[in-house]
C-alpha cells in the first residue's frame, strides 16, 4: 500500500512531492534583520531533508515587528540582498520548494532572545516601543504597547505588502501570514488583546477586519502562482479568549478570499493559557478546520513519529504535517520516515551511499542541478 504521507499534493499551483512541511522556526541569528551564515547552514541542511516544502522562519515586515533584535526581516534592501545570497546557495543543491512566513510581533516584539531570558527589553537594553491593537501589555509587569491609530494600521498593512513583493522577487514559492502565537495579527483577533472601541475591535467581524485587510492586500500584491496561506492559533486556551468557533468563522472568510491553506497551531496570546500538552495535541483543531471549511490544512505540534504523521494524513485530520522540533533533532526525519513507511524520498547524489542495506530503495535518485 502506498504511503499517504509521501503522496503528492497541490497548494494552489504549487506542486509538493509529499505532505511533510518544514515548519517556520525562529533562529534569532540575524543581524539587523539580515540573514547570516547561520541561515545558510540551517536552511541548507533542511533543504536536504526530503520534505515537500520548506517555510523560512517568521520574518518581520518592519524593524519594530521583530520578536528579538536577532530576528530575520524582509523590510529593506539589505534584508533582501542577504536572503537572496543565502537562497542562491541553498537552491544550488536542492530543488525543494521554499516559502516564507511573514510576521509582525506586535506587543511581543522588543524581547531578548530565548537563551537570554526572553524578557521585554528596555530602550537601555536595545529595545524599542512596541505596538498593538490596545495598550495592554502581554505580561502584567511589562510596559504597555502603543495602540495603533489609522496611520499605523496603514503603515503595517503596506509593510506586509512590501515584504510580500520582496518575497516574490526572491523567487520564493509560497507565503504564509502569521496570525498566531500572540503576535500582532492574532492580537487583533483575540478579545484578550484587542479592546478597541472602533471598527477594528469589539465584535468578531471587527476583530477580524485588520487581519483580513492584510490578507487581501498581500494576496493582491502577489503573483497568482504564489499560494498564500495563514497560520492561526485555533484557541487561546483561556476562557473568554479566541476559540475554535471563531477560528472557523475566520477560516471561512479567508477561504472566500483565496487562502491556499490554514496552518493550525494554538496559544501564545496570554500567560494565563492552560495548554493540554501531549503528542499531536493540536491535531483535533486542524481536523475541525478541515472538516468545516474544506481548506487544505497543516497539522503541527508534538508530531514526532512517522506512523503518527502517516495516520494524521490517512484519517483526514490534515492534508499536511508540519514539523519543527522533530526536524531540529533529526534533520533527516523524512528519510527515516520513508524507510519506516516503505516510501521513497529525493536525496542528493552525494548522500546516496549512506542508504542502509535494510532500507534499500528509499532514495529516489533524482539529480539536482549543481554548481
Catalytic residue among 28, 75, 183, 200: 183
Residue 365 has pLDDT above 70, yes or no: no
Closest of 265, 330, 341, 261 to residue 297, by C-alpha: 261
Closest of 13, 25, 20, 14 to residue 319, by C-alpha: 20
What residue ranges define each of the domains in the chain, with the CATH number in brackets? 4-364 (3.20.20.70)
Residue pLDDT, tens place only, 193-220 = 999 999 999 999 999 999 999 999 999 9
In the chain, the percentage of residues whose pLDDT exceeds 70 is: 98
Q: What is the mean pLDDT of the chain?
A: 95
Q: Hey, is 110 helix, strand or coil?
A: coil
Instruction: Compute the distance between CA of residue 66 and CA of residue 59 in angstroms, rounded to an integer.
Output: 8
Of the candidate ranges 105-114, 283-292, 295-304, 362-371, the one whose mean pLDDT is the lowest: 362-371
Mean pLDDT (whole number) for 248-267: 98
pLDDT at 148: 98
- The CA–CA distances, whole Å, from 244 to 115, 201, 237, 343, 354 equal 32, 19, 10, 35, 45
Closest of 291, 298, 289 to residue 254, by C-alpha: 289
Residue 350 has pLDDT above 60, yes or no: yes
Contact 70, 29 (CB under 8 A): yes
Instruction: Compute the distance between CA of residue 221 and CA of residue 229 in angstroms, rounded to an integer.
Output: 14
Mean pLDDT (whole number) for 263-287: 96
pLDDT at 31: 98
Closest of 146, 138, 148 to residue 118, by C-alpha: 138
Residue predicted with more confidence, 347 or 54 = 54
In the chain, the percentage of residues whose pLDDT exceeds 90 is: 92
- Respond yes or no: is residue 351 known to be catalytic: no
Of the candidate ranges 204-208, 285-289, 362-366, the one whose mean pLDDT is the lowest: 362-366
pLDDT at 369: 47
Amino acid at each position: 500500500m502506498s504511503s499517504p504521507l509521501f503522496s503528492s499534493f497541490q497548494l494552489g499551483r504549487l506542486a509538493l512531492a509529499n505532505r511533510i512541511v518544514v515548519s517556520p522556526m525562529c533562529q534569532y541569528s540575524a543581524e539587523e534583520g539580515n540573514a547570516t551564515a547561520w541561515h545558510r547552514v540551517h536552511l541548507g541542511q533542511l533543504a536536504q531533508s526530503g520534505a515537500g516544502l520548506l517555510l523560512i522562519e517568521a520574518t518581520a515586515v518592519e524593524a519594530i515587528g521583530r520578536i528579538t533584535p536577532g530576528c530575520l526581516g524582509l523590510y529593506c534592501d539589505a534584508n533582501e540582498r542577504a536572503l537572496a545570497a543565502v537562497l542562491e546557495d541553498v537552491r544550488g543543491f536542492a530543488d525543494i520548494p521554499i516559502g516564507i512566513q511573514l510576521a509582525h510581533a506586535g506587543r511581543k516584539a522588543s524581547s531578548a532572545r530565548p537563551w537570554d531570558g526572553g524578557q521585554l527589553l528596555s530602550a537601555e537594553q536595545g529595545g524599542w516601543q512596541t505596538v498593538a491593537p490596545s495598550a495592554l501589555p502581554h505580561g502584567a509587569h511589562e510596559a504597555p504597547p502603543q495602540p495603533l491609530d489609522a496611520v499605523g494600521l496603514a503603515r503595517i498593512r503596506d509593510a506586509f505588502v512590501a515584504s510580500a513583493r520582496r518575497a516574490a522577487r526572491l523567487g520564493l514559492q509560497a507565503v504564509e501570514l502569521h496570525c498566531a502565537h500572540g503576535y500582532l495579527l492574532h492580537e487583533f483577533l483575540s478579545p484578550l488583546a484587542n479592546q478597541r472601541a472602533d471598527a477594528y475591535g469589539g465584535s468578531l467581524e471587527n476583530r477580524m477586519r485588520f487581519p483580513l485587510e492584510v490578507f487581501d492586500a498581500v494576496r493582491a500584491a502577489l503573483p497568482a502562482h504564489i499560494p498564500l496561506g495563514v497560520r492561526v492559533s485555533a484557541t487561546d486556551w483561556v476562557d473568554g479568549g479566541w476559540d475554535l468557533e471563531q477560528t472557523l468563522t475566520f477560516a471561512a472568510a479567508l477561504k472566500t478570499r483565496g487562502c491556499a491553506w490554514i496552518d493550525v497551531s494554538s496559544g501564545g496570546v496570554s500567560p494565563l493559557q492552560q495548554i493540554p500538552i501531549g503528542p499531536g495535541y493540536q491535531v483535533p483543531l486542524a481536523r475541525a478546520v478541515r472538516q468545516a471549511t474544506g481548506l487544505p490544512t497543516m497539522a503541527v505540534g508534538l508530531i514526532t513519529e512517522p506512523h503518527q504523521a502517516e495516520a494524521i494524513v490517512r484519517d483526514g485530520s490534515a492534508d499536511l504535517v508540519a514539523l519543527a522540533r522533530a526536524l531540529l533533532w533529526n534533520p533527516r526525519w523524512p528519510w527515516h520516515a520513508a524507510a519506516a513507511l516503505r516510501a521513497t524520498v529525493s536525496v542528493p547524489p552525494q548522500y546516496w551511499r549512506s542508504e542502509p542495506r535494510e532500507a534499500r530503495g528509499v532514495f529516489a535518485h533524482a539529480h539536482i542541478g549543481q554548481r
